[in-house]
Chain A
């Protein structure tokens, strides 16, 4: 499964809504799609797993969803951007074989 993400860069201001897209080349079985936030000098942080489940400690301004019934189109929404949300975001398919994790190329959310 190959993942593409759009847009490549999203330029927004604090308080605005961010919508990030992830498209899979084929159906992601069991909804095994996750989203990560990655900041410079830090390790990636799990935000969403199972396409729509928030990880422990993740604020409810982060939400994940899947469009349609073919499990190929996924969305990460940040309802109101906080200053600490400006970062790189990756979608990931997990549970594959033999490749356990497949990552998208990332979407950068930066200050307008």
Chain B
């Protein structure tokens, strides 16, 4: 069974940092491209970042470029999102998503709240 389990969310002050993790199982992680997608309260889904299976190619949405860093550890079947300079509008549920190329499996999400 394919599983993606995010963690690392929480309450952080504006300007702060947070590192999200996504541990996967049930498939060959090293062969799959991965993404992060978020949903702010009352808003739609927003793609944030992509990383290819071997980390050769990385993309970011303009909204997080320069502030967020995606990475992966294929030996640990894990995906990461390092977030810095966080703002109130980064408050959202963050999802780890497998790409095949459609987004076929999503984690349950981890909630990030940016507030003083």
Contact of B101 among A38, A55, A95, A106 (CB under 8 A): A95
In the complex, the chain A residue whose C-beta lies closest to that of B45 is: A103
Interface residues on A, range: 20 to 34
A-B contact pairs, 30 of them (CB 8 A): A32-B101, A32-B102, A36-B45, A36-B103, A42-B108, A43-B95, A43-B106, A43-B108, A43-B109, A44-B95, A45-B106, A46-B103, A49-B104, A55-B104, A90-B44, A94-B99, A94-B103, A98-B59, A98-B60, A99-B59, A99-B61, A100-B35, A100-B47, A100-B50, A100-B99, A101-B37, A101-B45, A101-B47, A104-B44, A106-B44
Binding site for A on B (CB under 8 A): 33, 35, 37, 44-47, 50, 59-61, 95, 97, 99, 101-109
Binding site for B on A (CB under 8 A): 32, 34, 36, 38, 42-46, 49-50, 55, 90, 92, 94-95, 97-106
